[in-house]
Amino acid sequence: MKKKNSGIIFITLLAIIFAGASCKSNDPVVPPAETSYSLKVKDVLGVSGTVTFIETSTNSVTIEIELTGASAGTHPAELCMNSAVEGGTVALVLNPVDETGKSSTLVTTMTYKELNAYDGFVQIHKSSTEQNVILANGDIGGNKITSTSKTYILSAVGTFNVSGTALFEKRVNGNTLVTITLSGAIAGQSYPASINIGSIASVGGGGITKTLNPVNGTTNKSYTNIKALDNNLAITYDNWMVYLGYINIYQNSDENANIICHGDIGSNI
């Protein structure tokens, strides 16, 4: 009787072990957390791609880059401080993009959470001897552009026949990307731009509070990332939406003479 009971206990234990193993094998596998950002063409037409952060452990992240349209060879890659519009110093040197258009780098100095909140961008160079040629770049982390934006009209002044728009876009970190697009600009010219306090209806207008990057007359574009005013006072996208101000575009940099187009922004609308 004792042997029979022992046999029953043994068989029961085996059944429990196999049942446990069966449950484990059927448990869904949770994929690692990951976030992707777009890489856009910069100096070489036809190049684009993505950079993906993959959480490989609590203290490590794999950064994967995939490019399309790049020329043959290896292309140095790096993660830099600030936004792509501003440019910045290198924070992390990444493994170069190889002949397959891919790069993979294990990072242990920053966590997945830190990278996804980082004020930075990723860029890929044409080659180690042509570092000044950027194949593609893209903002990451806190610099990612959200779907929140506002467009203001820039109207022609006098006989200059130049008009356009000013697009304010909100970043995840609350900073603002301002894109000016002109129509009627002259190729080869550079047009200074500024945000002023007051309104265009004010007598004499108001002083410059934020100097914007000049508009390139060939591309008709200007891009400025804004974290603070010229006096270093921090300002967010939400602040701009209620700001009492206006934008001026000037014919030249000669004491910002000859306003060629302008438009109210913020609480003036």
Residue from 143, 200, 198 nearest 175 by CA: 143
Whether pLDDT at 7 is above 60: no
pLDDT at 163: 98
Q: What is the pLDDT of residues 119-133, one digit of tens each?
A: 999 999 999 999 999
- CATH 2.60.40.200 assigned to 34-141: yes
Residue from 245, 180, 186 nearest 215 by CA: 180
Residue from 172, 181, 143, 168 nearest 266 by CA: 168
Q: What is the pLDDT of residues 192-229, one digit of tens each?
A: 999 999 999 986 678 999 999 999 999 999 999 999 99
Dihedral over Cα of 136, 137, 138, 140: its sign:
positive
Distance of alpha carbon 11 from alpha carbon 20, whole angstroms: 14
Most confident of 3-17, 21-35, 105-119: 105-119
What residue segments make up the domains of the chain, in order of their start?
A: 34-141, 145-266
CB 44 within 8 A of CB 123: no
Token couple for 85:
């519009």
Query: With helix as H, strand as E and coil as C, how does the chain read?
Result: CHHHHHHHHHHHHHHHHHHHHHHHHHCCCCCCCEEEEEEEECCCCCCEEEEEEEEEECCEEEEEEEEECCCCCCEEEEEEECCCCCCCCEEEEEEEECCCCEEEEEECCCCHHHHCCCEEEEEEEEECCEEEEEEEEEEEECCCEEEEEEEEEEEECCCCCCEEEEEEEEECCCCEEEEEEEECCCCCCEEEEEEEECCCCCCCCCCEEEEEEEEECCCCEEEEEECECCCCCECCHHHHCCCEEEEEEECCCCCCCCEEEEEEEECCC
- Confidence band of 82 (pLDDT split at 50, 70, 90): very high
Whether pLDDT at 6 is above 80: no
145-266 matches 34-141 in CATH topology: yes
Token couple for 110:
């920053």
CATH topology of domain 145-266: Immunoglobulin-like (2.60.40)
Whether pLDDT at 189 is above 80: yes
The overall average pLDDT reported for the chain is 90
Token couple for 238:
């939400």
Q: What is the pLDDT of residues 140-179, one digit of tens each?
A: 999 999 999 999 999 999 889 999 999 999 999 999 999 9
Global pTM value:
0.85
pLDDT at 31: 82
pLDDT at 27: 62
Owner of token pair 């600009």: 185
Whether pLDDT at 13 is above 50: no
Whether pLDDT at 137 is above 90: yes
